[in-house]
Structure 1
Amino acid sequence: MLEGWGRMRKLVSLISMLPAFIALAGQGHAAISYQRLDGAPGERGLVIKGVFEFSDDPTKLVDEYRQYQADYISFDSPGGNVVTAISFGRAIRALNARTLQIRAMECASACAFAFVGGVERFAETGSIGVHRVSLSDDIPMDNKLAVSTVQLLTGEIIGYLTDMGVSPNLLQLSLSIDSSDIRYLTAAEMRDWNINTPENIPSPQNNASPPSDAAPEVSATPAATPLDPGAPEEAGVPEPGDLTTEAVDFANRYNDEWSNDSASAWAFMNGVYADEVSFFGSSVDKDAVLKEKAVFAQRWPERIYSVKPGSVTASCAGKCEMSGIVEWFTRNKGTGKTSAGMAEFSYVWNTASLQIESETGKVLATDKGAKAPDRLIDQWIGLDDICRGSLDREGAATLRACKRRDQLGPLLDRLDWCYGHKDEAGMDMKWHKCDANSRRYDE
């Protein structure tokens, strides 16, 4: 076991350099797919991507794993059908496979149950998210049947966790988190509940370096295990007097403003920075910050920046220290170039002056040759799932998710990405490059 995890340390180091080469699935409801990560000989990873659907067959995972002779399995999944995820977890256990998860890739909701199928497991702090199971609105059932279904599913989950050697506390925590929220597990929880099987495994150091043309993008970035986790905080509707929620709202507003046309964005930036700013480790005046923003906006006149749902943390006492993850897609029609990826950001925000006094961050991943805003589309789909699929349709969390979805949609529209065509049924609508028959937000 110790020998195996000595090798896993090498794999952690390897996979920490891979996010720059991993593109998120473009369709939130696409079938499960697999991506091979080919590192040094004997260090092969297999990524399970997409939403777990009832129709997904874990035997395909078995075939892919054996054909590739993978050394570990990772995930890039927002969740999906719990029963299917458990069947994948059991398949992983039958393969005697290891599972490894880093924060730069998503493993949330039902995905957590697939992850614990690993014989040996390591997940970076904040990389595994859980919440309460919700029943599909597509299946009509009365209250009695719903209760019975939940009881049966709960029993199945407890039995599965026991078989995998994981504490049922994982389920207990999940049940305490609303289905519209996400709670990311702490290092102590993953250790104490045996979600991470090894002890004293170091956190991976992300060695991915941003390309030269990506450096300015970190100026809109975060770091991230959620204090008040889940989609609601991204939705940007603060509770009166709640500084933490206001800080989250500010992070969303900052990136939304930066996504506007360059003149509007610059006007916002001119008022949001203090006269003196600690900017990526150096003390500079506001004019230096604005000059960098202006140069970047000239290089990338069309931009979408959006905070990744569930990533923001904030600690407020007069000033707010906040961090999180932002995903971006930029385009320059004149040069034909695009840039996309994911980065960390960290701000110190003065709640009295409403100005940024400190900013830092780093690029986590860049999507080479990206032609579509897949990361932002995935965000929209996740918010739409909460907005339309929540059992608490009038709840504050659901309303915030709907609001955030409706803020992100027009940004995508402005970069010529549209959802659905005119006279098309809702169930058939998909994101696509806009054409003459596309639905537009301004129509």
Structure 2
Amino acid sequence: MLEGWGRMRKSVSLISMLLAFVAMAGEGHAAISYQRLDGAPGERGLVIKGVFEFSDDPMKLVDEYRQYQADYISFDSPGGNVVTAISFGRAIRALNARTLQIRAMECASACAFAFAGGVERFAEPGSIGVHRVSLSDDVPMDNKLAVSSVQSLTGDIIGYLTDMGVSPNLLQLSLSIDSTDIRYLTAAEMRDWNINTPENMPSPQESGSPPADAAPQVSAKPADMPSADPSAPEEGAASPPGDLTTEAIDFANRYNDEWSKDSASALAFMKSVYADEVSFFGTSVDKDVVLKDKAAFAQHWPERIYSVKPGSLTASCAGKCEMSGVVEWFARNRDTGRTSSGMAEFSFVWNTASLQIESETGKVLATDKGAKAPDRLIDQWIGLDDICRGSLDREGVKTLQACKRRDELGPLLDRLDWCYGREGEAGMDWEWHKCDANSRRYAE
């Protein structure tokens, strides 16, 4: 199984190359069809294309999969009928088939449930999209029947995800996203909710050196997972001399904290941390180009909070450090009255000799339309506060990290006029709110 999963990881690169030669044109809302991807021996892929409709028969998938003797199943689908997608997922599980998804092809909405049918699953960050499941507008029903139908469908989805070994958090997240919007899953979410199946991934020692034509392999330790070495530092802890991975993680946190300060301070920091030449979102540019971009953004959004999502940072260091993570933000322009809120992935290549960024890229994962409050950052603070105050291990590293990060995030929220508690209130009644004359203020 490990050998097969290793081949599956290499197939990410293989599919990307094949897409340059295989026409993937589809009819926007056509019935499900199938696309065969012919690769090297043992690397045959079968792509399920189109919108899942009630009339689609998963037995056609079974026949196509067996005739082609595919090694994995991928998707190019914006979603469709949830019940049909689940039936396809169960057919995939009955076939004992693997599922694989790359960003170059879409798997959104109901398609995410079909993907979950894979006995082994791998999806690139940002390749699986979710939003709220809705009943068809074409089927008239009264309110009582609508409620009953939603409850029944929700139960079916939870039962299916449980059977597939996927956390019901996937459904919980999808219900929080409006059906007119889309939210793409991060690497951390797919790992934590077992959408990807990392327990089947071979270690570098098991898989050996990757072949020359394989996708680049990065040995990155998730920052929120315990280290194999009990003495090794965790995210946010002081790093011993030579611990470049921890230094890289500290740098990524500091970068976003500095960017959250007033524009003059933030831009001064940016000037100090970029190399003279930077690969900036895939284009090699002079440092001045990067700084002008940052300055223009700061002028447009003079008040900002950017905070790395706890546990999302990973880093791999060998002379230079490659780091990536998820950052959540809230920004405001008092003059225009506009606000911006959302979540994005970011990646840096950081030169540990010069302590400068040589490469930066990223992708917006979600935007919160019409957001007027920094809800994402408040949720971060609440989660950190729960760990800080609720942990039985009061002197534990993770507890101390959570307390430290909470007390760094609080003043940033305060600066945007969001306060925690009011004077005279009992501590148990404190809540985050728009600051007023009676609000408690964080000490800077």
Residues in 1 aligned to 2:374 and 2:258: alpha-carbon distance in whole angstroms: 18
* Deviation readout 1:209-241 (Å, 9 max, x if unpaired): xxxxxxxxxxxxxx9986232699996333223
- Closer/same/farther in 2, CA of residues 406 and 319 from structure 1, 3 Å limit: same
Q: What corresponds to 2:372 in structure 1? A: 371
Alignment of 1:230-241 (within 5 A): 236-241=236-241
Q: What corresponds to 2:224 in structure 1? A: 229
- Closer/same/farther in 2, CA of residues 383 and 295 from structure 1, 3 Å limit: same
- Closer/same/farther in 2, CA of residues 388 and 245 from structure 1, 3 Å limit: same
Q: SS at the partner of 1:271?
A: helix
Q: Displacement, 1:97?
A: 4.8
Residues in 2 aligned to 1:15 and 1:300: alpha-carbon distance in whole angstroms: 36
- Closer/same/farther in 2, CA of residues 281 and 95 from structure 1, 3 Å limit: closer
Q: What corresponds to 1:14 in structure 2? A: 109
Query: Number of residue pairs matched?
Result: 293
Q: What corresponds to 1:424 in structure 2? A: 425
- Closer/same/farther in 2, CA of residues 106 and 301 from structure 1, 3 Å limit: farther
Question: Contact 1:272–1:355 (CA<8 Å) still a contact in 2?
Answer: yes
- Closer/same/farther in 2, CA of residues 253 and 106 from structure 1, 3 Å limit: farther
* Deviation readout 1:104-124 (Å, 9 max, x if unpaired): x9949xx99xxxxxxxxxx98
1:297 aligns with 2:312: no
Question: Contact 2:223–2:234 (CA<8 Å) still a contact in 1?
Answer: no
1:338 aligns with 2:355: no
Out of 197, 213, 216, which is 1:188 matched to?
A: 197
Which structure 1 residue ranges, 5 or more long, are not aligned?
18-34, 44-62, 74-91, 113-122, 130-182, 193-222
Residues in 2 aligned to 1:366 and 1:415: alpha-carbon distance in whole angstroms: 19
Q: What corresponds to 2:398 in structure 1? A: 397
- Closer/same/farther in 2, CA of residues 259 and 230 from structure 1, 3 Å limit: farther
Question: Contact 1:345–1:361 (CA<8 Å) still a contact in 2?
Answer: yes
Q: Quick one: which amino acid aligns to residue 68 of structure 1?
A: V
Residues in 1 aligned to 2:302 and 2:163: alpha-carbon distance in whole angstroms: 38
Q: SS at the partner of 2:310?
A: coil
Q: Quick one: which amino acid aligns to residue 333 of structure 1?
A: R
Alignment of 1:45-56 (within 5 A): none
- Closer/same/farther in 2, CA of residues 403 and 342 from structure 1, 3 Å limit: same
Out of 135, 148, 152, which is 1:66 matched to?
A: 148
Q: What corresponds to 2:262 in structure 1? A: 261
Residues in 2 aligned to 1:64 and 1:246: alpha-carbon distance in whole angstroms: 53
* Deviation readout 1:389-433 (Å, 9 max, x if unpaired): 111101121111100000000000000000111122111111000
* Deviation readout 1:73-125 (Å, 9 max, x if unpaired): 5xxxxxxxxxxxxxxxxxx4697555799x9x9949xx99xxxxxxxxxx986
Residues in 2 aligned to 1:191 and 1:296: alpha-carbon distance in whole angstroms: 42
Q: What corresponds to 1:176 in structure 2? A: none
Question: Contact 1:304–1:411 (CA<8 Å) still a contact in 2?
Answer: yes
Question: Contact 2:378–2:432 (CA<8 Å) still a contact in 1?
Answer: yes
1:126 aligns with 2:135: no
Q: SS at the partner of 1:405?
A: helix
Residues in 1 aligned to 2:238 and 2:340: alpha-carbon distance in whole angstroms: 31
Q: Displacement, 1:356?
A: 0.4
- Closer/same/farther in 2, CA of residues 293 and 442 from structure 1, 3 Å limit: same
Q: What corresponds to 1:201 in structure 2? A: none
- Closer/same/farther in 2, CA of residues 280 and 65 from structure 1, 3 Å limit: farther
User: Identity, % of aligned pairs?
Assistant: 62
- Closer/same/farther in 2, CA of residues 230 and 333 from structure 1, 3 Å limit: farther
Q: What corresponds to 1:283 in structure 2? A: 284
- Closer/same/farther in 2, CA of residues 305 and 237 from structure 1, 3 Å limit: same
Q: Displacement, 1:354?
A: 0.8
Q: Quick one: which amino acid aligns to residue 277 of structure 2?
A: E
Q: SS at the partner of 1:37?
A: coil
Q: SS at the partner of 2:406?
A: helix
Which structure 2 residue ranges, 5 or more long, are not aligned?
1-57, 63-83, 90-98, 100-104, 113-129, 139-144, 174-184, 202-217, 228-232
Alignment of 1:35-184 (within 5 A): 37-38=132-133, 41=136, 66-68=148-150, 92=155, 96-98=159-161, 107=169, 126-127=188-189
* Deviation readout 1:39-85 (Å, 9 max, x if unpaired): 68499xxxxxxxxxxxxxxxxxxx987343675x5xxxxxxxxxxxx
Q: Quick one: which amino acid aligns to residue 14 of structure 1?
A: S
Q: SS at the partner of 1:438?
A: coil
Q: Which has the larger radius of gyration?
A: 2
Q: What corresponds to 2:348 in structure 1? A: 347
Q: SS at the partner of 2:256?
A: helix
Question: Contact 1:224–1:311 (CA<8 Å) still a contact in 2?
Answer: no
Residues in 2 aligned to 1:95 and 1:363: alpha-carbon distance in whole angstroms: 28
Q: Displacement, 1:304?
A: 0.2
1:273 aligns with 2:282: no
Q: SS at the partner of 1:277?
A: strand
Q: Quick one: which amino acid aligns to residue 188 of structure 2?
A: G
Q: Quick one: which amino acid aligns to residue 336 of structure 1?
A: G
Residues in 1 aligned to 2:287 and 2:364: alpha-carbon distance in whole angstroms: 23
Q: What corresponds to 1:434 in structure 2? A: 435
* Deviation readout 1:120-155 (Å, 9 max, x if unpaired): xxx9863266xxxxxxxxxxxxxxxxxxxxxxxxxx
Residues in 2 aligned to 1:94 and 1:376: alpha-carbon distance in whole angstroms: 30
Q: SS at the partner of 1:329?
A: strand
TM-score norm. by structure 1 comes to 0.57
Question: Contact 2:343–2:364 (CA<8 Å) still a contact in 1?
Answer: yes
Residues in 1 aligned to 2:300 and 2:111: alpha-carbon distance in whole angstroms: 29
* Deviation readout 1:322-345 (Å, 9 max, x if unpaired): 001000000000000000000000
Task: Let me know the Cα RMSD of the aligned residues.
Answer: 4.2
Residues in 1 aligned to 2:226 and 2:339: alpha-carbon distance in whole angstroms: 28
Q: What corresponds to 2:363 in structure 1? A: 362
